[in-house]
A and B are shown apart, each in its own frame.
Chain A
Amino acid sequence: MSDTSLHNLTRSAEPEFADYVALLKPRVMSLVVFTALVGLLVAPVPVHPFIVFTSVLFIAIGGGASGALNMWWDADIDRIMRRTAKRPIPSGKVSEGEALGLGLALSGLSVMMLALSANLVAAGLLAFTIFFYVVIYTMWLKRWTPQNIVIGGAAGAFPPMIGWAVATGGVSVESVLMFMLIFIWTPPHFWSLALFMKSDYDDAGVPMLTVTHGHDATRRHILGYTVLLAACSLGLAFTTIGGPVYLTAALVLNFRFLVGAWKLWKRDTPQAEADAYGEEKRFFKLSLWYLFLHFSALLADAALRGLGLTGGAA
């Protein structure tokens, strides 16, 4: 190969390793790792530390694979939106075919390896999660309904349930409530962000509630989901994985979250613009802590139980 032809090669022909890693949405993977790990560690069945490591790794790879398939399918709208224009496909670093290949290969590999590392129930749940996120959410509902965030949230809610299945080989009320906690948390989290972020979803043809139904309807939806969320969160405190730390955290966090949602509901757009969406930004920041502290509290109670300092249910 001559020097000239080397120079003529486009950047897309030679992606770096980091470009493939970026396809797996590492930031989303970190949430998957954390919640799956908590789901696994709070389960009443002890698991060998190496199996914990490999199982969480394959759950994360499965999540990453669905991210790559999402980027493959959404490459057309990612090119339009500023937030996503720098992703590996729209920026020309990785071709669409490579993203599809990587996504499919890692999906198959992660499910197969989770079956070997843990059990078929966990692997089946991971396969369903990938299918749900890619086919039901990305391909079907994302561009069709303003409830897309609600449906997409379900895919992000599966990891603790898979983690629980790794340890126990099944599904229980505890794992379903951990699923519900993330599932119901997702809409208020994203809609509060959508209230203050100037988004170009409309240009991309993605129906967001803030655009299709307006800010007032979005504020009502946030309050409604926050009330539902409080019920799920407190319900979890009275299962076998709840404990004093979780109950305390849930009471404090839900009180603050409900007050925040109430304040958002009482405001309108001119009031929000007057203080540069300060309340909306505070609520969004609180939503990040809300989920992190709930799962941390579950882990703390599991540690206390492990040390024999507390009993079973709260």
Chain B
Amino acid sequence: MIRATHEIHDRRRSRNLGLGLVLIAFVGIVFGMTIVKVGNGEDVLGTGMVTQEAGQ
């Protein structure tokens, strides 16, 4: 019978939780960077197109 509170589960949970938080933070960072760059009118996609405000 497997005990749910085995130490190995705690270690695995710590790892999964940590990785989950890192991934969420990473998504937030990429989103935030995009907002800032687009807000500054930078050519974030490398298409040569910038926002109208920046082009004026």
Contacts and interface: CB of A to CB of B under 8 A. Distances in A.
B19 A48 contact: no
A15 B15 CA distance: 8
B51 interface: no
A15 B29 CA distance: 26
A14 interface: yes
A54 B32 contact: yes
Contacts of A288: none
A162 B19 CA distance: 27
With most chain B CB atoms within 10 A of its CB, the pick from A1, A14, A17, A113 is A17
B55 to A, nearest CB: 20
Contacts of A57: 29
Given A17-B14, A48-B40, A116 B33 contact: yes
B17 to A, nearest CB: 7
A16 B17 CA distance: 10
Given A6-B8, A9-B8, A16-B11, A54 B29 contact: yes
A16 B9 CA distance: 10
A35 interface: no
A3 B1 contact: yes
Given A14-B8, A16-B15, A17-B15, A50 B33 contact: yes
Interface string A39-67: 00000000010110010010000000000
Interface residues of A, number: 20
Contacts of A117: 33
Contact of A14 (B3, B11, B32): B11
A174 B49 CA distance: 35
A33 B41 CA distance: 28
A50 B31 CA distance: 11
Interface residues of B, number: 17
B14 A16 contact: yes
B12 to A, nearest CB: 6
A307 interface: no
A239 B46 CA distance: 36
Interface in A1-36: 1-3, 6, 9, 14-18, 20-21
B11 A50 contact: no
Interface string B1-38: 11100101001101101110000000001001100100
A15 B11 contact: yes
A65 to B, nearest CB: 14
Given A3-B1, A6-B2, A6-B6, A48 B36 contact: yes
A113 B34 CA distance: 12
Nearest to A17: B18
Interface string A86-120: 00000000000000000000000000010011000
A50 B36 contact: yes
21 contacts: A2-B2, A3-B2, A6-B6, A9-B8, A14-B12, A15-B15, A16-B11, A16-B14, A17-B14, A17-B17, A17-B18, A18-B14, A21-B18, A50-B33, A50-B36, A51-B33, A54-B29, A54-B32, A54-B33, A57-B29, A116-B33
Interface of A: 1-3, 6, 9, 14-18, 20-21, 48, 50-51, 54, 57, 113, 116-117
